[in-house]
Amino acid sequence: MIIRDQGSGVRGQRLRYIILVLVVCFLSIARLPAGQTVVVVTGAPGSAEFGEKFSAWAGQWSKACDQAGVDCVQIGSGTHDTSDRDLLKDYLSDPNHQQGQDALWLVLIGHGTFDGRAARFNLRGPDVTDRELGQWVLPVTRPLAVINTTACSSPFLKALSGAERVVVSATKSGFEINFAHFGGALAEAMVSLEADLDKDGQVSLLEAFLTASDQITAWYTSQGRLKTEHALIDDNADGLGTPADWFSGIRPAKQAAQGASLDGYRAHQFCLKPSDIEKQIPDDLRAKRNQLELQVMQLRDSKATLSDDEYYIQLETLLVQIAEIYEYID
């Protein structure tokens, strides 16, 4: 859980009781494992050196999937009569892969280019552009995470942003053209409990993004080099993205310009390998719980615009609904 708030007086005592009920219920629930799928697409390496890197990064994602008991589909690592572009398009066009409550993860590993108009993910054979991939995922209604670890990947963020989606790019601009190291750090973070920043026993996509971004910053500093890649994360469908240095812990700590909503809350609900406790929540109730938690976070962000009574009345209403979910499950 990510709810931490207390009031004062009678209302504060009641809120503390509700939170206590939440914790007790949270520790005693049971459900079946999730049916997530990860599609790892490895692009054209260009050289043996990059081929080894990309193979290692794809292997780390495969390892993470094995540990999580999640299906992992690899594109770009074998020999086929069909081009990698068509394999990816065909996979995303299959209605069996487009619907469901469990997340679909799409991980792009390789090189990228940008000509000032379109960004491209360089595949073996024909490439795919940001706009084309955006069209291919339009029919996908299940929760979707798209992670583009290439240089020049920022335009993909805007092209793929949407409701129930988390989009990560390795760069903040299509003009960041140097090789991006972010993909390796992110793949490593996905299988490391050191990336569990809130210590809830699982690593969310947000936590992996923040951990990898910090590692990349530290690497450039240690090398005495100017940082040429600045990863972004978008999960509020505005296509703008938020850099890691906007966060304090797992919460955004800066205000977006012109009242734009903040990223990160939905990304923290995407976990490739949920904790044993989280695995026990039925899918429909988890979806409802997640939506209520998002409303709590949004309410906290708007606290300054409300009176204390308005804020705590709304907060109590949401916490009671969450507590009822855990009580029902228990």
> Hey, where are the domains in the chain?
9-30+281-329, 37-269
Q: Which of 122, 118, 146, 153 lies closest to 45 in space, CA to CA?
A: 122
Residue 21 confidence (pLDDT): 46
Instruction: State the pLDDT confidence band at 181, using cuts at 50, 70 and 90.
Output: very high
Instruction: State the pLDDT confidence band at 15, using cuts at 50, 70 and 90.
Output: low
Burial of 198-218, coded b for 16+ CB within 10 Å and e otherwise, reads bebebbbbbbbbbbbbbbbbe
- Give the pairing type, strands 37-42 and 71-75: parallel
Residue 8 confidence (pLDDT): 53
Mean pLDDT throughout 38-54? 96
Hey, is 48 helix, strand or coil? Answer: helix
Instruction: State the pLDDT confidence band at 84, using cuts at 50, 70 and 90.
Output: very high
pLDDT: is 130 or 193 the higher one?
A: 130
pLDDT: is 12 or 2 the higher one?
A: 12
Instruction: State the pLDDT confidence band at 232, using cuts at 50, 70 and 90.
Output: very high
In whole angstroms, give the CA distance from residue 227 to residue 152.
Answer: 14
Q: Which of 115, 231, 254 lies closest to 180 in space, CA to CA?
A: 231
Domain 37-269, CATH number (from 3.40.50.300, 3.20.10.10, 3.40.50.1100, 3.40.50.1460):
3.40.50.1460
Residue 327 confidence (pLDDT): 80
20-25 LR contacts (CB < 8 Å, sep 24+)? 21/323, 21/326, 21/327, 22/319, 22/322, 22/323, 22/326, 24/330, 25/323, 25/326, 25/327, 25/329, 25/330
Q: Which of 209, 272, 279, 278 lies closest to 66 in space, CA to CA?
A: 272
pLDDT tens string 240-288: 999 999 998 888 877 766 666 779 999 999 999 988 878 777 878 888 8
In whole angstroms, give the CA distance from residue 125 to residue 296.
Answer: 47
> Is 90 exceeded by the pLDDT of residue 227?
yes
The pair of structure tokens assigned to 153 is: 């990947």
Mean pLDDT throughout 99-126? 96
Share of the chain above pLDDT 90, in %: 66
In whole angstroms, give the CA distance from residue 168 to residue 160.
Answer: 10
Q: Are 68 and 272 in contact (CB under 8 A)?
A: yes
Q: Are 151 and 177 in contact (CB under 8 A)?
A: yes
